[in-house]
Amino acid sequence: MPELPEVETIARTIAPHVTGRIISAAEVRWARTIASPTARKFAGQVKGQRIIGVSRRAKYLILQLEDYNLLIHLRMSGDLMVRMGKIKAEKHDRLLLALRAEDGRQSHLAFNDTRKFGRVWLTDQPETVLGSLGPEPLGRDFTPQWLYENLRKRRRQLKPLLLDQTFLAGVGNIYADESLHKAKLHPLGLSNSVTKKQAEALHEAIRSVLREGIRRNGASIDWVYRGGEYQNYFRVYDREGKPCPVCGTGIQKLTVGQRGTHICPKCQVIERK
DNA sequence: CTGGCTCCCTGAATGC
DNA sequence: TGCATTCAGGGAGCCA
């Protein structure tokens, strides 16, 4: 499932192939993919728009157009790829944007999404979609002090809080498990009992895990393969029964906040004082 | 404010 | 072999 590093990887991959191109046509192949406006309006409004740039906010991919922002959330199984020349739609393609380069060459930006959870917004007010997101974990606002203070303000289980996009934006199930293991914190630990030292460790863990994810071009798991390699470096995620890389204890899988969660039962203990 | 549950979907895994 | 059932998972929405 694409999280921050995977979306960042996709943004970097497609940017050189789409920037400067003009969207000459849009084919909506699954209407519910378009969150706003309606599928019909979408095609009309996006047609003729030039792509100015590609960026990312949390798990949203942002195509900056002349008059709009095209926001794409890949959710579980979404993927974006550029296909050169004239193409036919492939299985699970939900949206196809025909692109025309300055020299007339044609290509397509395809949004492929097996499970149909992904969504696309075309809007001139991106903050209506992105406005409630928490800070970027790799951004300047996310400091150890900020994390400590905001963990203490709440009384939440650590993992659900890390997954809460209004608290911190971009961390998903994989990187939450990896971060908590690296910081030696239990996913069920309460946010308001975290010490300053633990908050600093968690801050460092989140950043380093996300940075390594980006360095490895993200993780390629399930049937979505993007060439990323981070899945080969998981500490705990999807490693039930395998040894903890720190102490060798068998990794356990449990459910936290209705999410599959992986921990080392020896390294990650809820502290009581 | 918090946590639990359901829904949206498909394909892989499992059961008989 | 084949059919039916179960399940994962991001995020919104609902409820207690």
Q: Which residue is nearest to nucleotide B4 (CA to C1')?
A: A257
Q: Which residue is nearest to nucleotide B6 (CA to C1')?
A: A258
A257 touches strand B (CB under 7 A): yes
Q: In strand C, which positions have an atom below 7 A from any protein CB?
A: 8-12
- DSSP class per residue in A182-218: HTT--TTSBGGG--HHHHHHHHHHHHHHHHHHHHTT-
Q: pLDDT 10s per residue in chain A (273 long)?
A: 788 998 999 999 999 999 999 999 999 999 989 998 988 899 999 999 999 999 999 999 999 999 999 999 998 888 899 999 888 888 889 999 999 999 999 999 999 988 888 999 999 989 888 888 899 999 999 999 999 999 999 999 999 999 999 999 999 888 999 999 999 999 999 999 999 999 999 999 999 999 999 998 887 765 555 678 888 889 999 888 889 999 999 998 888 888 889 999 999 988 654
Give me the CA A52–C1' C6 separation in Å, rounded: 45
A260 touches strand C (CB under 7 A): yes
Give me the CA A40–C1' C14 separation in Å, rounded: 30
A221 touches strand C (CB under 7 A): no
User: What is the three-class DSSP state of A120?
Assistant: strand
> Considering only CA atoms, which of A173, A79, A65 is closest in space to residue A117?
A79
Q: Which residues of A are catalytic?
A: 2-3, 59, 259
Give me the CA A108–C1' B3 separation in Å, rounded: 43
pLDDT at A226: 65
User: Please, are residues A244 and A266 in contact by the beta-carbon 8 Å criterion?
Assistant: yes
A152 touches strand B (CB under 7 A): no
A58 touches strand C (CB under 7 A): yes
User: What is the three-class DSSP state of A178?
Assistant: helix
Nearest nucleotide (CA of A114 to C1')? B10
A32 touches strand B (CB under 7 A): yes
Q: Sign of the CA dihedral A17, A19, A23, A26?
A: positive
pLDDT at A22: 98
Peptide bond into A37 cis (omega under 30): yes
pLDDT at A238: 86
Nearest nucleotide (CA of A176 to C1')? C10
A252 touches strand B (CB under 7 A): no
